[in-house]
Structure 1
C-alpha cells in the first residue's frame, strides 16, 4: 500500500512516511486539528512512478477537484537534530489530478537538488527517500510559526510566535515582515497585530500540549481560518537549541562554560565526561571534601564542562566582585554575568559555607603547599629539578599490569590509576606554578603606573623548561634533520605515511623516540575518548609537513624561540631599570619577583603533563575492557566503550547488560554535537543563552577580544576548526575556536593567534606568550567573521583584531 490516509499513519514509521508525515501523525495522535489528507509513501518513490489510480482514489476522498497542498516528506527531514527546512519543495493550491501528479513528481525531484544534497552532506546524512503529503488547503485569516522554546535565546520558559495575515508561507520563507510575539508569563499585545490575546493564549496552550506529547520543544506551523478555528500544518523538533542540564532541579541556576580553560570546545565523549567527573570527585575526597561538593559544582551539559555559579551569584559578599573576577575568562563572560546579576530571579541569598570541609581541605593542602612555594622561591633551580624528576616515576606507575585479565579488573585499574598521581607528583608540581603566578601578580602591582600588564607578562617570553614548548621544538628538530625526506613527508597522503610507519617501512627520522616521549598527548587530550598520538600519529605527520614547508631561516621555530627568550630577558632588564629610576627602594624586590617568575613559569604545563600519563592508562584499560565486552557481544566494537559511562560499563562487565544500542545512540548524539558551532559561555538551567539576550555591541574599528600575548602582527588569516590535517604557512595568523597543547605545533609557524574562547592563563595563550607571538582570545564568532586569506592585523595588548578588505588568495580553511 503506497497511499495512506493521515489518520492511519504511525508516527514512528519515518522510513516509510518521512519526517513531515510523522510529525502530522504525532499531532493527530495528540488530538490536534490537522487538515485532511494522505501520504504517498517512500515505496512509490522507490518505484519511480506515481501510482495514479491510488492517488486519484485518495484525492477523491478529499472532495472533487479540491485545492490541496503538496509537501515533501523525506526520510531525512524534520529530524530531531536537523530540520531540513526549505530544502525540499512544497506546492500550494494544486487543483486537479494531472496537476497533483505533476506536483508529486516535483517533490520527488527536489530530493536531489544541489542544495538538498549539500544539506544532507553537512548533516552527515548518507541517503534519503521521499514520501509526499497531500492535504486540503486552508485559506487562513492569519498564519505563521510557533516555537515552544525561544529559538534565539534558548529559554524553555518562553514561546515565540511569528504571524502574518493570510497564508503563512511568507513567514516561513522570510519574505515578509511578520508580527513577532514573545510569550513568557504574560501575553503581550501588538496594537494593529493580526492576533488578539485569546488567540495567543490558545496557541500557547496548544504549544504546551504538543511539546509535552512530543517530549521536546517544537517548531509548529499553524493557520487560523475565517471562523477562528486553529489548524496545525506541521510540527518538528527545534533543532538548534543547546541542551539543558539534566538534574538542575526547580531552582533557576546559572552555569559558566569551563571547557575553554582546557582548550576544549568540542563535546567530550560520554566516557571522557564520566572519567572527568570521577577524577574531580577523587580529588575532592582526597583532601577531605565530600563528593557531593564537586557534583554540584561541575556539570556536563551537551558534552561540555560547565561550572555552577549559582551560589556565587547569590552570595551578598561575592556577587559585587564577581564580574571583575570573571574578567580572566573574557568580556563575553563578564557581560553575561553582569546581565545575570541584574535578573531579579537571582536575588542575594546567604551563602552556606561548608566550614568543616573547608577546614579539612586547608589543613591537608595548606602546609605542603606553603613549604613547596617557599622552597621554589628560595631555590628555584633545585625545586625545578626535583619536580621534573618525578615524570619518569609517574610514567612507570602508569604502565600496564600483566595480571589484569577481566573486564572488571581493567575497569578497576582505570578507576584507581589516578589516585597516586593526584595525591603526590601532580599536586607537588603545582607549587612552583603558584609561586610563579604570585610573583608575577605582585610585580604587576608594584610596577603599576610604570608598566602595563602586557609589558610585565613579556618576561615569560621564551621561558625555559616548558614541556609543551620542548615537545614542539623537538618535533621541529626532527623536521630539520629529515630534509632529505622532504618530498616524501610533504607530498605523501598522511594516511599512507601512518600506514608505512606502522608497517616499519618509513625511513627512520626519530619519530619513534618522539612518540615514546609524547605519544600520550593529543588535541582535546583531557578526554579519554580521544585517540592519543601513539595510536594515531597523523597529527604529528601533519606538523612535520608544516615545518618542512618552512623556508625562512629567521622564522624557523628554534630561531624564533631563542629570539623570544632574549626578549624575555630584556624585558626584565627594562622593567628593573624603570623601577630603579622611579621606585628605587622596591627595585631589588621587583627584580627578585621577575626573575623568579621567569625561572618557574615554564613548569605550568608539568602538572597536566603528568596527569596525562594516568589518562592514557585509563584509556588503554577501558579499550581492553571494551575488547572483552565486544567479544561477549555486549558492545559492537571495543571503541564503543567510550560512549558509555563508568557505571554502564560496570553493568555490562558484572551483570552482562547489553549496551550495544545505547552506545550506538550515544555515538550518534556525540557526532551531532561535534557539528555544533556555538556553545553558550553562560547558560541558565531553563536553557537561556545569556549572551543571546544582550544588545549587540557596535565597534567600528574591528573585532574585539582580550589581549592575551602582547605584540602586533599583520598577515593572512588561516581559519582552522580542527588541527587534524591542518597547516599554517609562515606569516599566517591562526584563527581557531580554541586551542590546547595539541594545537601548539601550529604555533611555531604562525605569526599570531586569534581564538573565540579561552582564558589568559589557559594553555594556548600561555604557550603563545612563551613563543613571543601576539594572541587575542575571546573574539566572538572569529572563525565565521574572518575568512581564510583575509589580511588581518591583531594587537595582543589591546585585544583588537582589524579585518582588512583584501584577500591574499590563501588556500581554503579546513
Structure 2
C-alpha cells in the first residue's frame, strides 16, 4: 500500500505511515476537524520511486489546488522524541510535478546532518519516511497550543502562541507571537475557548500532554493541523488529591541519573531494616512513604513539613544543604496559599521521642568516645567493615532464582542495617561534628576559606585512598604508555578479561575497589569489577601528567601540608583572641583531621551487601529472562512473582525504554509540585552578569584553566590542568579530580562527595551553578573562585 487516506489511519499503523500521519488519523477518528488529505507510505519510500500515477489521482480527488506536504517519519512525533523541525515541510505546493518534487525532498530530509544527529542523540538507529499531503488552510491566524506549560512543566495550565498568517513564523522564531496562558478549568472566549476545549479532548484521547498546531481560517473555522506528545516535560509525580511539594535529594550525593526500579526497591528494603533496628514500626511494603520515585529520581515529600505551623519557618535554614536554588524555591512556596500553615506536626511525636530515647544515649556515648580516642574509634569502624564482609553470605551455586531473591529481599542487608552499622556510624558522626562546629566557634576569627583549607588532604578517606591507588596503577603502566594511552578503554577492558594485558596491579585494585562505580548506590549499575573500562580511561588520563609537581600524590601531600600549616596559624590566633572557645575549636579541628575522612566509609560498607545482592539478582535474572539485567527493571516483589511464573516481559520492556530515555535528560528539577511544576522555573529571571556565573562555595581556592564539559565519567577524557564542568559528581567521578585544576557542578551540596573530595585534594570547587554544562563550552578559558562560588568566563 503506497497511498492511504488520513481518515483510514490509526495509531497502530505508525510503522507504515509515520508518527505525524498516525496522529492525524487518530485526531480524525476522535472527531476533530483536520484538513482532508492522504499519506504516501513508507512502502513508496522503500521502493525509491515516487508513485506518480497514484499520487496524481489522490491529488485530484483532493480537489487539486494548494496543499501542504509534510514529513512523517517512523521515528517522528514519538512520546520521547518530537523531531520538531528535523525533517522538511513544504506549504502552498500546487500542481502534480511540484507535489512529486516536494515528496522527494521530504524523503531526502530524512538524511540531513541535523536529522541524523538528532536520531543519534535520542537513541534511534534507523527510520523510514512517509509523507503527509493535506489541503492547504488559508489562515487568518495560526499557532501552537501546549496542553501543559512547556517551561514550568505544570500539567494544569495551557499555553498558546498565535500570530497572523501561517504558523510557521512562530515555529521558525521570526515573529513575536501573541502569548496566552490559562488554567485548564478557566473558560476563555471565542477561538481561545475552542482551543482550550480541543486541548482537553486531545490530552484525554492521547493520554499525555500535547503540542498542537492549529489554524483559524478566514471564515473563523478552527482547524487542527497536528498533535504530538510534549517530549521535554519531566515525568509527572503520582496523582494526589491535593497539591504536594517534592524535593529531589539524589543530587546531594551526586546522583542525578535515574535509578533502576530494582535500585529503588532495594533502597527501600534496606531503609526498612534499619528503621526496625532502631525500634520503629514500619510498613514492610513501603517503609519510606515520603520517598517518591519520579522519573527514576528519588524525591522527598516535604508537604506536611511545609504546612506545619511549628516547622515551616525553620525549613529555609535547614535546607541550606540543598543549595541556594532549591532553598529559594521552597521559601517561595511558603507564600503559596496551597501550603497555608496548619496546626500539628508532620510526624508522630511519641514515636520520635521513643526513637530518640533509644538512639541518643548510644549516639552521645559513641561520639564522645570517638572524640576522646580517635585511633580506637577508627579501629572499630574498620573492624565493622570486615564484620559486614564476613556476615554477607549469599546462597550457594545450586540455589534457585526464588531462593536467591528471598535472600536479597530478606537477608542481604541485615549485616549492615544495624543501629550503628556495625560500629561505623558514631566515629563517622564525630568527624562530621568536629568538622562543622569550629565555624561557629571561630566566627569573625577564621575565614571560610581557612576553615576549608583545614579540611584538605584529609587522611583515612576510602575514596581518596581508592583514587591514589588508581594513580599508582598508572605509575605502573608507564612502561607500557603507548598501549594504555593509545588503546580505547573498552578494548583494554576486553583484553584484561582475556588475560592479555601486562600486570599493573589491577586485579589487586579490583579485589578491594571493584564493588564501586558511578551512581553506585543503584544496584542496577555495573560495578568496576564487571566492566573496568572507566578505570582504563582514567589511567590514560593520568599518563598525560608530565609535570611531577602535578602528580596526584604530590597534590594531596601539598593539600595536607597547607591544612596543617593553616591549622597551626588558626590555633595561635584563636587561642589569643578567644582562649576557651579557641582551644575547643582547635581540639575539634585536630579531631576532624583524624575522623572526618571516615564519612565515606559508611557508604563504602553499604556497597558490600549491595554488590552481593547484585550478583544474586543477575544470577536469578539469567534463569528467568533472556537478558540477566532485565531483572533490574522490576522491583523485588515483582521479581519474586516472575520466579513464580508471572510473565512481566512487557513491563520490563516499557521500563527499560523509559529508563534509557531518562538517561538522556539534560536537567532534573530540584523542587517539583504534584502538578508537574518545576518550582525553580517560577523564579524571576536573574539578570545576566558580566560573564560571571554564580553558584555556591564548594571548596576554597581559585584556578584558571580550559573548561572540559563532561556528562558521564565513563571513558571521559580530561587534560591535566583543565577544569571539570559536570552536571554532578559522585565517587565514581572522583578519579578525574586527580588531574583537574578545579570543579564546577550544576547541583550538589557542600557535604556531598564531590566537594568533599575536592577539598581533600586541595582543588577549588563551585557547585549549584545552574545550566553550567550549557553555559560553558569545552575549551573556554574560565576562572573559578571556590570561596566566592563564582565562575568567570574569560575574554580572549
TM-score band w.r.t. shorter chain: over 0.9
Question: 1:669 — aligned with what?
Answer: 658
Cα gap change, 1:406/1:169 in structure 2, threshold over 3 Å: closer, same or farther? same
Provide, for residues 668-716 of structure 1, a one-character-per-residue CA deviation record: whole Å limited to 9, x for no partner: 2111111100111111110001111112212335011111111111111
Alignment counterpart, residue 555 of structure 1, candidates 550, 554, 561: 550
- SS across alignment from 2:704: strand
1:283 and 1:425 map into 2 onto residues whose CA distance is 9
Cα gap change, 1:601/1:805 in structure 2, threshold over 3 Å: closer, same or farther? same
1:667 and 1:185 map into 2 onto residues whose CA distance is 32
Question: 2:369 — aligned with what?
Answer: 375
The alignment's C-alpha RMSD in Å is 1.7
Question: 2:620 — aligned with what?
Answer: 625
Greater CA drift, 197-206 or 616-625 = 197-206
- SS across alignment from 1:143: strand
Cα offset, 1:427, TM superposition: 6.0
1:116 and 1:243 map into 2 onto residues whose CA distance is 25
Question: 1:271 — aligned with what?
Answer: 262
Question: 1:417 — aligned with what?
Answer: 412
Matched pairs, number: 791
Point out where structure 1 has 5 or more consecutive residues left out of the alignment.
189-195, 630-634, 807-814
2:49 and 2:473 map into 1 onto residues whose CA distance is 63
Q: Is 1:216–2:211 an aligned residue pair?
A: no
Question: 2:193 — aligned with what?
Answer: 201
Provide, for residues 526-556 of structure 1, a one-character-per-residue CA deviation record: whole Å limited to 9, x for no partner: 0111100101111111122222221111111
Contact 2:71 2:131 in 1 (8 A): yes
- SS across alignment from 1:395: helix
Q: Is 1:584–2:579 an aligned residue pair?
A: yes
Matches within 5 A, 1:381-780: 381-402=375-396, 405-415=399-409, 416-423=411-418, 426=421, 428-629=423-624, 635-654=625-644, 656-698=645-687, 699-700=689-690, 702-780=692-770
2:766 and 2:327 map into 1 onto residues whose CA distance is 17
Cα gap change, 1:291/1:208 in structure 2, threshold over 3 Å: closer, same or farther? farther
Contact 1:643 1:667 in 2 (8 A): yes
- SS across alignment from 2:310: helix
The two structures have a TM-score, normalised by structure 2, of: 0.97
Question: 2:338 — aligned with what?
Answer: 345
Contact 1:68 1:94 in 2 (8 A): yes
- SS across alignment from 1:72: strand
Cα offset, 1:261, TM superposition: 1.6
Question: 2:12 — aligned with what?
Answer: 12
Provide, for residues 89-115 of structure 1, a one-character-per-residue CA deviation record: whole Å limited to 9, x for no partner: 111112222222222112112111121
Cα offset, 1:198, TM superposition: 2.3
- SS across alignment from 1:370: helix
2:505 and 2:453 map into 1 onto residues whose CA distance is 33
Q: What stretches of structure 1 move > 6 A for 4+ residues in a row?
A: none
1:456 and 1:382 map into 2 onto residues whose CA distance is 26
1:108 and 1:666 map into 2 onto residues whose CA distance is 32
Matches within 5 A, 1:296-311: 296-311=289-304
Cα offset, 1:444, TM superposition: 1.3
Contact 2:329 2:683 in 1 (8 A): yes
The two structures have a TM-score, normalised by structure 1, of: 0.95
Question: 2:225 — aligned with what?
Answer: 233
- SS across alignment from 1:801: strand
Provide, for residues 728-749 of structure 1, a one-character-per-residue CA deviation record: whole Å limited to 9, x for no partner: 2221111111111111111111
Provide, for residues 603-643 of structure 1, a one-character-per-residue CA deviation record: whole Å limited to 9, x for no partner: 000000000001101110100100111xxxxx221111112
- SS across alignment from 1:320: helix
Cα gap change, 1:403/1:479 in structure 2, threshold over 3 Å: closer, same or farther? closer
Matches within 5 A, 1:134-145: 134-145=133-144
Contact 1:707 1:776 in 2 (8 A): yes
1:499 and 1:101 map into 2 onto residues whose CA distance is 51
Matches within 5 A, 1:16-95: 16-63=16-63, 65-95=64-94
Cα offset, 1:185, TM superposition: 5.9
Contact 2:161 2:178 in 1 (8 A): yes
Question: 1:809 — aligned with what?
Answer: none
Contact 1:427 1:607 in 2 (8 A): no
1:570 and 1:520 map into 2 onto residues whose CA distance is 36
1:79 and 1:796 map into 2 onto residues whose CA distance is 43
Cα gap change, 1:316/1:294 in structure 2, threshold over 3 Å: closer, same or farther? farther
Greater CA drift, 693-702 or 72-81 = 693-702
Cα offset, 1:294, TM superposition: 4.8
1:186 and 1:209 map into 2 onto residues whose CA distance is 13
- SS across alignment from 1:481: helix
Question: 1:254 — aligned with what?
Answer: 245
- SS across alignment from 1:761: coil
1:117 and 1:387 map into 2 onto residues whose CA distance is 54
1:30 and 1:727 map into 2 onto residues whose CA distance is 52
Greater CA drift, 721-730 or 744-753 = 721-730
Contact 2:263 2:522 in 1 (8 A): yes
Matches within 5 A, 1:279-290: 279-290=270-281
Cα offset, 1:168, TM superposition: 1.4
Contact 1:390 1:425 in 2 (8 A): no
Cα offset, 1:51, TM superposition: 1.7
Provide, for residues 313-351 of structure 1, a one-character-per-residue CA deviation record: whole Å limited to 9, x for no partner: 111222222222222211111221122222221111223
Greater CA drift, 697-706 or 443-452 = 697-706
Contact 1:187 1:197 in 2 (8 A): no
1:50 and 1:124 map into 2 onto residues whose CA distance is 29
Contact 1:414 1:618 in 2 (8 A): yes
1:700 and 1:316 map into 2 onto residues whose CA distance is 42
2:505 and 2:130 map into 1 onto residues whose CA distance is 58
Cα offset, 1:505, TM superposition: 2.3
Cα offset, 1:285, TM superposition: 3.2
Provide, for residues 749-783 of structure 1, a one-character-per-residue CA deviation record: whole Å limited to 9, x for no partner: 11111111101001111111111111111111111
